[in-house]
Amino acid sequence: MEENEWNNMICVAGEGMISPLGFNSADTFRRVEELSADPSKESEGRLYQSHFGIPEPFFASLIDDKKLDNAFSTFSDTKFRYTKLEKAAILSADQAIRKSGINPSGKDVLFILSTTKGNVSLLGDLDGFEPERIHLWRSAELIAGFFGNANEPLTVSNACISGCSALIAGMRQLRQGRYSHIVVVGADMLCKFIISGFQSFKALSNELCRPFDKNRKGLNLGESAATMVLSKSDEAPKGSFVLVKGAMHNDANHISGPSRTAEGLLRCLTEILTETDKEDLAFINAHGTSTLYNDDMESIAIDRALLQNIPVGSLKGYFGHTLGAAGILESIISSYAVKEQVVLRSRGTLELGTARKLNVSVNQGVANGKHSFVKMLSGFGGSNAAILIKMI
Amino acid sequence: MKGLKIMSYCRITDASVIFYDREVVVYNPKDEDPWLLQIYKAKDIHYPKFHKMDNLCKAGFLGAEMVVNDDSQENKENWAVVTFNRSSSLDDDTSYQKTIENADNYFPAPSVFVYTLPNILSGEIAIRHKIMGESVHYITKEFSAERICEAFNDLASDGKIDTIVGGWAEYFQGHVDVLMLKVSVNEEDKQLLTINNILKLWKI
């Protein structure tokens, strides 16, 4: 592609994250790489007993509350009381904004929040917060407000695909020229409400999840906040990441089960990838939740899209499923991997076993000079999303 | 002139259902059925899954049922569902919270939990009408004709989607407030989708 063809592309001007593996993107990626390279290393995910007042034990990756409080109070001397989700979101957004160099209070900046459940833990115990705080738009307003941004933020709550939906919403806003920069923040924190619900579905594994594995038993949940600042790429330096194309499709099949024929996800892949794009794919960063149906469905979509030879991996064995943060967090980690020319190990995968055969990265590999990847997500409500991201 | 046109709309409040500028169902306080079921029966809808839905989905589903008015089960490849509201799925969230509140009476129910995501509404509409384009749910503090208008127009401007079902669907603390639209790209002599035209329908 000629250089000037990137003019209308959307670039990632900055990123940041707060995760159990690290309190910024670089530290988190270093830790991911360490775990990827050495299968004998233990991750931050572990089994919690009698936590959050839940009778059954659960395996999850949680952000240490004290560590987060310390990081936040070192960062800001505000007297205003923020929730855990808001603190993590603000810290991740601040990192991304600083890297991008944008003025976050500018009229030409829009904040988009991606979250599935926001401050839902307050439903059980308000803990001194006002009832309005349970509303997702209120968290979005407070996050944008922290940075002095006066535009009414947009919130996307689209189940597991929220992160990709929010990035696509941001891409559209920039293409229409309504704003110069979009701060896309994804965050979800765990609590009794969320974990008991997934337990009632029998969707959780009580050990490290095993994406695409023959013996996969369900997912692990995780907490994170991740932010990308998106800008038009006119002046993006070499080595920047560009969101080339995104697509979303519904399976029109079932509210809590994926399509047996992967109709929605297949359409996403077909829509975003040309034959030339396929040649530059370093890997596909799948959703890979480790539930029986999701991973089978993804294998069918990848196979039907004739991508079965491209390395496929899931990051759920590192972070768990981070819900509204997943699309953004996993895109950032995948970008770091492309930059380092690493194909990360699909941690937790031991023995392959999906409906269709996939080239799952059971060991860490190299990217062989390829500079693109696909981020895929699927979720409740029958929704699917895929985004093609490329290093220029 | 070709453009994104409002093909039909439906407004549901606590008092009535307005369709094509007419009150087609009026709340009957003497009827023992809940309001949303009154509408379902009055419109003679037959869709057993309706009875499993939470109130937010019921409300949005009924609005979509009116505006789509199409029983064909062909895949609608170029259609999308885009919904907005203020209170997410908080109505069902509150019901689910009750199932996990007490250690002595702990019975987390998957059939309630599944509706604790606001985008289940757009999913239900997509399933009902075989809509294969995107389904997205956005949250704004108040009804925002501006955000609805821009989301619909942006989606249609990509060229792949020619029909969108959606709009505003709010159900919280016993109150319903829905403005469901069907918009299509065509040359018919219909109102263009503009912020003012959406506002007019909202205030009808």
pLDDT at A222 over 90: yes
pLDDT of residue A7: 55
Q: E strands of chain A, at which residues?
A: 10-18, 46-48, 58-61, 109-114, 154-156, 181-188, 221-222, 224-232, 241-250, 281-285, 311-313, 342-343, 359-360, 365-366, 372-379, 383-391
Closest CA to A120 of B96, B109, B173, B121: B96
Domain-embedded: residue B67 = yes
Treating both helix axes as pointing N-terminal to C-terminal, what angle do B35-42 and B55-68 enclose, rounded to 10 degrees? 20
CB contact under 8 A, B123 and A152: no
Residues of A in contact with B93 (CB under 8 A): 120, 123, 193
Q: How far is B28 from chain A (nearest CA, A)?
A: 31
CB contact under 8 A, A380 and B90: no
pLDDT of residue B73: 76
Give, in order, the Cα–Cα distances in Å from B178 to each of A75, A170, B105, B123: 43, 26, 35, 17
C-alpha count within 13 angstroms, C-beta hemisphere, residue A46: 11
The stretch A86-100 carries a mean pLDDT of 98
Domain boundaries, chain A: 10-232, 241-391
Hey, is the C-beta of A134 within 8 angstroms of any chain B C-beta?
yes
pLDDT digits (tens, 9 = 90+) for A21-34: 999 999 999 999 99
CB contact under 8 A, B150 and A192: no
Q: Taking CA atoms, what residue in A is nearest to B52?
A: A255
Q: Average pLDDT, whole number, for chain A?
A: 96
pLDDT of residue A4: 46
Do residues A186 and A287 lie in contact, with contact meaning Cβ atoms separated by under 8 Å? no
pLDDT at A258 over 60: yes
- Alpha-carbon span B120 to B135, nearest angstrom: 9
CB contact under 8 A, B88 and A157: yes
Give, in order, the Cα–Cα distances in Å from B79 to each of A194, A328, A367: 32, 26, 37
- Alpha-carbon span A124 to A190, nearest angstrom: 13
pLDDT at A102 over 80: yes
Domain-embedded: residue B64 = yes
Secondary structure (H, E, C), A43-109: CCCEEECCCCCCCCCEEEECCCHHHHHHHHHHHCCCCCCCCHHHHHHHHHHHHHHHHHCCCCCCCCE
Hey, is the C-beta of B195 within 8 angstroms of any chain A C-beta?
no
Q: How far is B139 from chain A (nearest CA, A)?
A: 5
Residues of A in contact with B139 (CB under 8 A): 135-137, 140, 154-157
Q: How far is B187 from chain A (nearest CA, A)?
A: 23
Domain-embedded: residue B20 = yes
CB contact under 8 A, B131 and A252: yes
Asked whether this chain's domains A10-232 and A241-391 adopt the same fold, the reply is yes
Residues of A in contact with B154 (CB under 8 A): 172-173, 175-176
Do residues A45 and A275 lie in contact, with contact meaning Cβ atoms separated by under 8 Å? no
pLDDT digits (tens, 9 = 90+) for B116-169: 999 999 999 999 999 999 999 999 999 999 999 999 999 999 889 999 999 999
- Alpha-carbon span A59 to A57, nearest angstrom: 7
Domain-embedded: residue B103 = no
DSSP states along B99-138: HHS-STT----HHHHTTSSTTHHHHHHHHHHTB-S-EEEE
- Alpha-carbon span B55 to B121, nearest angstrom: 10
Residues of B in contact with A258 (CB under 8 A): none
**Contacting B residues, span 109-128, partner chain A, CB-CB under 8 Å:** 109-110, 113-114, 116-120, 122-124, 126-127
The stretch A240-266 carries a mean pLDDT of 95
pLDDT of residue A2: 43
Residue B177 CB contacts under 8 Å (≥ 6 apart), including other chains:
B12, B13, B143, B168, B170, B171
pLDDT above 90 covers what percent of chain A?
95
Which of B96, B105, B119, B121 best probes binding to A when mutated, by most A CB atoms within 10 angstroms?
Answer: B119
* Cβ count near B160 (within 10 Å): 15
| Element spanning B3, H or E | strand B3-12
Question: How many domains does chain B fold into?
Answer: 1
- Alpha-carbon span A366 to A336, nearest angstrom: 13
Token match 């307050």: residue? A122
CB contact under 8 A, A140 and B114: no
Confidence of residue A236 (pLDDT cuts 50, 70, 90): confident
Q: How far is B70 from chain A (nearest CA, A)?
A: 15
Domain-embedded: residue B155 = yes
pLDDT of residue A1: 42
Hey, is the C-beta of B88 within 8 angstroms of any chain A C-beta?
yes
Hey, is the C-beta of A380 within 8 angstroms of any chain B C-beta?
yes
CATH number at residue B172: 3.40.47.10
The stretch B8-13 carries a mean pLDDT of 98
Residues of B in contact with A378 (CB under 8 A): none
Determine the length of chain B. Answer: 204
Determine the length of chain A. Answer: 392
CB pairs under 8 A between A and B: 154
pLDDT at A112 over 70: yes
| A10-232, CATH topology level | Peroxisomal Thiolase; Chain A, domain 1 (3.40.47)
The stretch B28-34 carries a mean pLDDT of 98
Confidence of residue B112 (pLDDT cuts 50, 70, 90): very high
Q: C-alpha angle with apex B106: B119 to A316, nearest 5 degrees?
A: 50
Do residues B162 and B188 lie in contact, with contact meaning Cβ atoms separated by under 8 Å? no
- Alpha-carbon span B71 to B65, nearest angstrom: 9
Hey, is the C-beta of A159 within 8 angstroms of any chain B C-beta?
yes
Give, in order, the Cα–Cα distances in Å from B64 to each of A316, A382, B46, B123: 36, 17, 14, 12
Domain-embedded: residue B95 = no
Closest CA to B191 of B178, B179, B181, B204: B181
The CATH number for A241-391, chosen from 1.10.287.810, 3.20.20.20, 3.10.20.30, 3.40.47.10, is: 3.40.47.10
Query: How does DSSP classify residue A275?
Result: H
Domain-embedded: residue B96 = no
Q: How far is A71 from chain B (nearest CA, A)?
A: 29
Q: Average pLDDT, whole number, for chain B?
A: 96
The stretch B78-102 carries a mean pLDDT of 97
pLDDT of residue B204: 85
Q: C-alpha angle with apex A368: A365 to A371, nearest 5 degrees?
A: 105
Residues of B in contact with A154 (CB under 8 A): 138-140, 147
Residues of A in contact with B97 (CB under 8 A): 123-124, 193
Which of B58, B94, B117, B154 best probes binding to A when mutated, by most A CB atoms within 10 angstroms?
Answer: B117
- Alpha-carbon span A95 to A272, nearest angstrom: 29
Longest dimension (CA), chain A: 59
| Element spanning A33, H or E | helix A25-37
Domain ranges, residue B194:
3-87+118-202
